[in-house]
């Protein structure tokens, strides 16, 4: 799986990068838990 985010400009990226890393990690953890539940 490849996950990419596209920002329209550098300022938008700079604002978002502080919370994107943690937020994306949490989203992928939730996806992993859901997939594990569906496979059980």
Model pLDDT, residue 10 = 95
Model pLDDT, residue 28 = 93
Give yes or no for residue 4 having a pLDDT over 90. Answer: no
Say whether 40 sits in a helix, a strand or coil: coil
- Tell me if the pTM is above 0.85: no
Decide if 13 contacts 7 (C-beta within 8 A): yes
Reported confidence tier of residue 21, pLDDT bands at 50, 70, 90: confident
User: Distance between CA 20 and CA 33 in Å, rounded?
Assistant: 20
Give yes or no for residue 1 having a pLDDT over 80. Answer: no
Model pLDDT, residue 32 = 96
User: Distance between CA 19 and CA 17 in Å, rounded?
Assistant: 5
CA dihedral 24, 28, 34, 38 (to 10 degrees): 150
User: Distance between CA 5 and CA 27 in Å, rounded?
Assistant: 13
Average predicted confidence (pLDDT) for the chain = 92
């Amino acid at each position: 799986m490849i996950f990419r985010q596209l920002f329209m400009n550098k300022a938008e990226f700079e604002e978002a990068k502080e919370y994107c890393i943690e937020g994306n990690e949490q989203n992928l953890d939730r996806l992993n838990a859901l997939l594990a539940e569906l496979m059980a």
